[in-house]
Chains A and B, each alone.
Chain A
């Protein structure tokens, strides 16, 4: 069957139902295809005609697991279109909010989704019977991240306090203090987490993916930076469309992203870490070294350690922000509508999340483009799956299916597809 490749300018959601099909002939993999059947929800279409101020709340609904990422990418892109730049305490609070999302999302993945694979359980609830203390620590750590989201955003899922220009209401210095106490515990728990996962057994794997992430001159990247890669790409965010393209394959409601003239690439914790190690705080760098990581890490199984290091960093960074915080005079800067195009990329827990908006003079969204991390990682995940099957062709289907699922979970593509993902169709000829 010929593979049809069509270029596409818009995205579809990546989450939920997917399948992986492998065709093997004479011991050789003829075809390895990841298909995503998530029903499309057409966000880029339904954004047309809405007011720019509605984009953060609407795009949050793309993902209940990382709504802050969608809110942050949309407000930064729209502010760029409106010629607005936000600095000082509002900028810091956005960073703090994002730290909360990293902590809850990574803690969820590390403890509830990924660790059970290494320890041999179907899930965290089953794992809790033998590893109760660890699971409780994971839940409490996740809750610490959610407490940031709740205080600053109003609620954990689809926070209501984010707007273009800033917030609706900002906390006083005093209101943030209880969070600091929680986060001091969380920072210790995150360090314990790094040590705990460093003791797992990791298969050798060094796939040679091009790594892509944001890079900021002096911060570990969250909301701002240039887009850089492990093979020398270094571009401003507004040049994204010239360097990356999406294709639409018949077997999938998700779009595949590729580097023009390059190919598959990888975004997410491994890419962020490997391209930004020197920007981690000293405590996070020390913990990474102690866990046996170098300044770069390409082994997708070890991404669980990198996520734990990022949780530690996020706790540390959140504490730094709270310690230095002075409430701004106003919760948001004034924004006036005007015609323009704005681009932004931020670092969702799962990697680079790109948004572009074209606005009309009255602030109406003329068109929108959104490229989520999982659509960017799909081609690399597929390559890893093919390699996984090639290396384990002689094992029974059930064992192979589990190996493939674990390969997918290494990338935390999002909860539902990473866990109920695999209907493995293995055609051995």
Chain B
């Protein structure tokens, strides 16, 4: 990066709902400051202006589901000094990775009268399955404070601080009563990556795992507890197969309980 030049930011979209890049626009208090610190060179959700060339920081949303997108992410990687994925689609394949457990041709036939018009890959895969990724930010959607932390860390040249412990730790820090212990509510908190601030338990609801697996989760132990609470094999398969279904720890545990 040349001295005095603001780092150039690109925000890229693949198969996704747009929610993670919207999180940047939802930083209402920080957005204009971010725009001063970074040269927003490509962010079609916010501006028509587009600059070709190289990017100091690329934020990538969405998963790879088409051959064209598999090519496009390689091009973006070549043009990017740092590439950070934002959200469950980009880091684990997203809800659209449920196709990985089914026959995508059947999926297409259910949705479209002419599935032969549809060109798509059999799987939805994370960005890291295609190119090297410098950092992965979790969440469906990502957390606003964590996004600001990631951008700040990039600007000063350090690693972002995003703890890899479980949602349980966040509940303890927040002083929440455990929804499983107190109310018998099934909760994925013990195996789910922190970052949301223990949102669901704070609303008297069990965590549904939208930040994906934590580092080294003990999912079989949790499944045994969930079975005690009344979940059958089918329910256990489903509970791990939502927005991070293709994340290895969740995929393996779901496969222990169903096809």
The interface of chain A, by Cβ under 8 A from chain B, is: 6-12, 15-16, 38-46, 48, 50-51, 54, 57-58, 61-65, 67, 104, 108, 112, 116, 122-126, 128, 135-136, 139-140, 142-143, 146, 154-158, 160-161, 168-169, 248-250, 253, 255, 331, 367, 405, 414-416, 419-420
Contacts and interface: CB of A to CB of B under 8 A. Distances in A.
Contacts of A420: 44-45, 48, 50
B169 interface: no
Interface string B194-208: 001001101111001
Nearest to B110: A45
B25 A112 contact: yes
A419 B13 CA distance: 13
A419 B21 CA distance: 14
A9 to B, nearest CB: 7
Contact of B117 (A41, A123, A146, A250): A250
A67 B19 contact: yes
Contact of B35 (A9, A40, A104, A128): A128
A169 B107 CA distance: 35
B17 A63 contact: yes
A128 B238 CA distance: 46
Interface centre among A40, A142, A158, A419 (most CB of B within 10 A): A40
In the A-B complex, the 6 residue pairs with the closest CB atoms: A64-B19, A123-B47, A420-B44, A8-B113, A45-B107, A122-B49
A90 to B, nearest CB: 15
Nearest to A161: B203
Contact of B15 (A41, A123, A139, A158): A41
Contacts of B45: 415-416, 419-420
Nearest to A156: B26
Given A61-B243, A64-B18, A67-B19, A40 B28 contact: no
A158 B141 contact: yes
Contact of B112 (A61, A123, A248, A415): A248
Given A42-B107, A54-B238, A419-B48, A135 B32 contact: yes
Interface string B121-146: 00010000000000000001100100
Interface string B64-83: 01100100000000000000
Interface centre among A39, A63, A67 (most CB of B within 10 A): A39
Nearest to B121: A39
B106 interface: yes
Given A155-B199, A161-B205, A414-B18, A112 B46 contact: yes
A38 to B, nearest CB: 8
Contacts of A54: 238, 242
Contact of B65 (A39, A61, A125): A39
B229 interface: no
A140 B27 CA distance: 10
A155 B48 CA distance: 28
B120 A39 contact: yes
A146 B25 CA distance: 11
Nearest to A370: B111
Contacts of A6: 113-114
Given A41-B95, A44-B110, A58-B242, A160 B141 contact: no
B18 A39 contact: no
Interface in B241-257: 242-243
Given A125-B35, A126-B49, A168-B204, A9 B95 contact: no
Interface residues of B, number: 65
25 contacts: A8-B114, A9-B113, A16-B18, A38-B15, A42-B110, A42-B111, A43-B111, A45-B99, A45-B102, A57-B242, A62-B17, A64-B17, A112-B25, A125-B32, A136-B32, A142-B28, A143-B28, A154-B199, A155-B196, A160-B200, A168-B203, A168-B204, A169-B205, A253-B118, A414-B18
B111 A45 contact: yes
Given A42-B111, A50-B238, A128-B35, A57 B208 contact: yes
Given A42-B96, A46-B98, A143-B28, A123 B19 contact: no
B140 A61 contact: yes
Contacts of A11: 111
A270 B1 CA distance: 48
Contact of A248 (B21, B29, B65, B113): B113
Given A168-B205, A250-B117, A46 B15 contact: no
Given A42-B111, A139-B28, A146-B28, A61 B203 contact: no
B110 A157 contact: no
B95 A46 contact: yes
Contacts of A57: 208, 242
A169 B203 contact: yes
B31 interface: yes
B114 A124 contact: no
Interface centre among A8, A41, A112, A169 (most CB of B within 10 A): A41
B148 interface: no
Given A65-B22, A122-B49, A416 B44 contact: yes
A7 B40 CA distance: 42
A43 B16 CA distance: 12
B219 interface: no
A51 B238 contact: yes
B20 interface: yes
Nearest to B204: A169
A76 B194 CA distance: 32
A356 to B, nearest CB: 14
Given A123-B47, A154-B200, 7 more contacts: A10-B112, A58-B95, A61-B17, A116-B48, A139-B31, A415-B45, A419-B45
A43 B110 CA distance: 10
B108 interface: yes
